[in-house]
Amino acid sequence: MKILEFDENLKFDEDLVLVLGYFDGLHRGHQALFNEARKVATILNLKIAVLTFPEKPTLTFEKFEPEMLLKLTSDKKRAELFAENGVDYLIFQDFTSKFAHQTASEFSENVVMKFRPKVVITGFDYTTGSDMKNLKNTEDYRVIIIPEITDNQGKISSTRIRKAVENGDIAQANSLLGYPYETSGLVVHGFARGRQLGYPTANLVIKDYVHIPAVGVYTCDVIFDGGRHRGFASIGYNDTFNGTEKTVEVHIFDFNGEIYGENLTVLWLDKIRDMVKFDDIDHLIEQMKDDENIARNYKTKK
């Protein structure tokens, strides 16, 4: 997959299937667009291009809040997901006021036609802020609008997934995504309390602007050094030790090596419990043994 920046000089010399959208998380609703794109591309023997944005379009329209920079996927993971969904060309366009206020005809002429599309695929709610809902079939390309994808609770959306992650409902988030929610972090030195308790932990610094699950203890899988390992993780403030700084700590089962400076990817599978302040260390260790048993016996959903 080639990753490019959109500018006025960009022009393709081959016909393409063009997919439009922001795609935070590339969840099951988004995947419906790419399922259609792959079908069309196979029939017409064409490659797939995506025009998307590095940041949320809402930054252009609404009063800025720091949380608006948070995403469901890191830039690296998002690119991997596009590739997994069959994208050949990934093109980023800054969502500026100028870009947003194009009419549908201007957008077609100034943007869409640069991709030489035979087919343009968008979701039912795609808009640049002007009259993009009026994008129609032309002599040059056909437009396919994918309707909303729902489950028994309504539309599958990035908003629902963000709320699920923020509430610690990782099982729900994963169901909506169609894959495990993940974060990556750098292993740094902490207080080494876990080692003293018999549960050495990797203390992670999350450098990406992504949503961190709610405070609690979770079953997780950890990817590093080419392998996937079961463990459990805690997100919280070390209440038993009167901590004040939010931490992400991961215990990897049956592993005692030193991995400081490594980048680990945590796949969040399910929440075990909320955080509790224990009266003494013995009760904490007893609870951690119960947490370990739950995590070890968790069956990853197919």
Which of 87-96, 248-257, 275-284 reaches the highest mean pLDDT? 87-96
Does residue 131 register a pLDDT over 90? no
- The first and second tokens of residue 181, run together, are 């929610």
Can you tell me which residue has the tokens 């991709």?
115
For the chain, the distance separating the N- and C-terminal CA atoms, rounded to the nearest angstrom, is 27
> Per-residue pLDDT tens for 10-43?
989 999 999 999 999 999 999 999 999 999 999 9
Whether pLDDT at 275 is above 60: yes
**124: nearest Cα among 243, 32, 236:** 32
Beta bridge mates, 266: 183, 222
Residue 78 near residue 26, CB atoms below 8 Å: yes
Buried b / exposed e over 202-220, threshold 16 CB at 10 Å, is: bbbeeebebbbbbebbbbb
Q: Which of 16, 13, 4 is nearest to 121 (CA)?
A: 16
Range 87-102 average pLDDT: 94
Number of C-beta neighbours around residue 118 at 10 A? 16
Q: Would you tell me how many other CB atoms lie within 10 Å of the CB of residue 198?
A: 11
Give pLDDT, residue 9: 87
Which residue is associated with the tokens 């996927």? Answer: 73
Pair of tokens at residue 270: 């399910």
Assign domain 2-155 to its CATH architecture: 3-Layer(aba) Sandwich (3.40)
Spatial distance between the Cα atoms of 33 and 248, rounded to a whole number of angstroms: 34
| Residue 84 neighbours by CB under 8 Å, 6+ apart | none
Query: What is the mean predicted confidence (pLDDT) over 132-147?
Result: 84
Alpha-carbon gap, residue 80 to 65, rounded angstroms: 28
Sheet of strand 142-146, all strands in order from the earlier edge strand to the far edge: 2-5, 89-92, 47-52, 16-20, 117-123, 142-146
Q: Are 59 and 67 in contact (CB under 8 A)?
A: no
Domain 181-296: CATH superfamily is Riboflavin kinase-like (2.40.30.30)
Burial 91-109 (b: 16+ CB within 10 A, else e): bbbebeeebbebebeebbe
Q: Domain-by-domain residue ranges, the chain? A: 2-155, 181-296
Q: Quick count: other Cβ atoms within 10 Å of Cβ 115?
A: 25
The structure's pTM equals 0.90
| pLDDT (0 to 100) of residue 136 | 83
**For the chain, what is the mean pLDDT?**
90
Q: List the one residue out of 231, 215, 217, 214 whose CA is nearest residue 267.
A: 231
